[in-house]
Amino acid sequence: MLGIPVLAGSSAYAVAEAAAWRNSSLEARPRLARKFYAVIAISMVLGLVLDFAGFNAVKMLFWSAVINGVLAPPLIVLVVLLTSDRKVMGKRVNSRLLRWLGWATAVIMAVASIAMFFA
């Protein structure tokens, strides 16, 4: 139960950052950050609805971790491609070692994700 406000707050920060909303923090008063607090309220209501609908919170956390693990390799590939591109990064492009480590991480995580489905 203690994690619900933390998860709601972190999702509100993630949405606010992705949407580039101004005045989006818990320091702002609710009338100045309506969208931010709306995301918090909607997240908490959705959590309550799922709880009262009988969904098992531990199973939902497990499956969200599985989904995050499966989605991680393609996201790592995107990050490696973006951070290796001089047009995007300018002078701060990845070194060869970091590029190699990024690709190795993506391959290892992809193999682990595939192996998970066969285990």
Put simply, whether the predicted model's pTM sits higher than 0.85 gets the answer no
Q: What is the pLDDT of residues 33-69, one digit of tens each?
A: 999 999 999 988 988 898 899 988 888 888 888 999 9
Q: How far apart are CA 40 and CA 71, in angstroms?
A: 25
Q: What is the pLDDT of residues 79-107, one digit of tens each?
A: 999 999 999 999 999 999 999 999 999 99
Q: What is the pLDDT of residue 8?
A: 86
Looking at the predicted structure, is the pLDDT value of residue 2 above 70?
no
Biggest alpha carbon–alpha carbon distance for the chain = 53
* pLDDT band at residue 22 under the 50/70/90 scheme: confident
Q: What is the pLDDT of residue 36?
A: 94
Q: What is the pLDDT of residue 23?
A: 84
Tracing tokens 């996201």 back to the chain, one arrives at 75
